[in-house]
Amino acid sequence: MGLFDFFSKSKKENLDKGLEKTKESMFSKLSRMVVGKSKVDDDFLDELEEVLLTSDVGVDTTLKIIQRIEKRVAKDKYVGADELSEMLREEIVDLLTENNSVDEDDFSVPADKHPYVIMVVGVNGVGKTTTIGKLANQFKKAGKSVYLGAADTFRAAAVEQLTIWGERVGVPVVKQKMGADPASVAFDTISSAKANDADVVIIDTAGRLHNKVGLMNELTKIKNVMSKIVPDSPHEVLLVLDGSTGQNAFEQAKQFTAATDVSALAITKLDGTAKGGVVIGISDQFKIPVRYIGLGEGIDDLQVFRRKEFVDSLFGK
């Protein structure tokens, strides 16, 4: 086994382990449903709807999947159990593909964006700062120099946590005093990163669910300051969602996509929940690519989201 194969196998094992609870809850039920089935009838579709809904796939996405299954079996309702299972797997992969869930090869950044600026948004408690630390670690392992900006200046704990992550990963953290202007922190961070020829800048922002207008104004101000130093930045607005909250994650996505131009998603804490179906539903409903998934508390437990591997793992393939 070559080195590349070893790492690929390791990532697959981590993915399987991280999605174990969802697999047991959701797709084990689906597997049991198709055993002995030779046709797709109303009873089967009712059971399928119940399993998808209880796994937080969401009503609209569940109905869409069922409609796709109905369309595929419209001509011939008699199919084998293996065919049914494969049909479900293919339709979910296709759904993710259509909804802009792009497959990333690794933690790479565009060569023409230097430094590559990521603004991270999300409510408190979803694992936002932890995700930033893990993301910085992955970029550094990929040979990139990284700067972190502690622009969540309303919580001392947020600045302290990001500082700890910076020390752990070995990357500089730019910060100011408690209550400082977040845009000022973003300005200092990008200025320092640019002066030191850094590859990646990751800016943490306040995780308060204050009113939409206030949130929009604050994030817009930060973005305007960024673009003055690095044109077209931020290049990515990454929304971090806690997968274990199920339908609450949908509501958070609605709030933040209304307040700013979210361009990518990171869905965390999938290892501690049976609600991994939320990844499918959120991708479908918001048409925003899922970029990363969090599968544990370890520093390396943040993976690039690969739709086919994700669905294969859920189906036990």
Domains observed in the chain: 3-98 (1.20.120.140), 116-306 (3.40.50.300)
H or E, element range at 82: helix 81-98
Could you tell me the two tokens for 165? Answer: 């992550």
| Cis-peptide into 115, omega within 30 deg | yes
Distances (CA, A) of 89 to 20, 30, 258, 278: 17, 10, 32, 16
pLDDT of 81 reads 67
In the chain, DSSP finds a helix count (H) and a strand count (E) of: 13, 8
pTM above 0.85, yes or no: yes
CA dihedral 173, 162, 248, 95 (to 10 degrees): 50
Q: What angle do CA 256, 249, 298 make, to 5 degrees?
A: 105
pLDDT of 312 reads 85
Could you tell me the two tokens for 213? Answer: 């207008």
Q: In what order do the strands lie in the sheet with 264-268?
A: 173-174, 146-150, 200-204, 116-121, 236-242, 264-268, 290-294, 302-304
Q: What angle do CA 7, 12, 13 make, to 5 degrees?
A: 95
The single-letter code of the amino acid at 252 is: Q
CA dihedral 130, 136, 139, 144 (to 10 degrees): 180
Alpha-carbon span 17 to 7, nearest angstrom:
15
CA-based R_g, the chain, Å: 21
- Based on the number of CB atoms within 10 Å of its own CB, is 273 exposed (0-12), middle (13-18) or buried (19 or more)? buried
* C-beta of residue 120 within 8 angstroms of C-beta of residue 262: no
Alpha-carbon span 300 to 17, nearest angstrom:
14
Question: What residues contact residue 18 under an 8 Å CB cut-off, 6+ apart?
Answer: 270, 271, 293, 295, 296, 301, 303
pLDDT of 194 reads 95
| Cis-peptide into 234, omega within 30 deg | yes
* C-beta of residue 236 within 8 angstroms of C-beta of residue 119: yes
One digit per residue, the tens of pLDDT, for the chain of length 317 reads 443 343 455 677 777 777 777 777 776 777 777 776 667 778 888 888 888 888 888 899 999 999 988 888 776 665 666 777 788 888 888 888 876 545 556 778 888 899 999 999 998 888 899 999 999 999 999 999 999 999 998 888 889 999 999 999 999 999 998 889 999 999 999 999 999 999 999 999 987 765 667 777 888 899 999 999 999 999 999 999 998 888 888 888 888 888 888 999 999 988 877 777 888 889 888 888 899 998 888 888 898 888 888 888 877 76
Q: How many beta carbons lie within 10 A of that of residue 71, not counting itself? A: 10
pLDDT of 2 reads 45
Question: What residues contact residue 191 under an 8 Å CB cut-off, 6+ apart?
Answer: 229
Could you tell me the two tokens for 166? Answer: 């910076």
Indicate if the alpha-carbon torsion angle 6, 12, 13, 15 is positive or negative.
Answer: positive
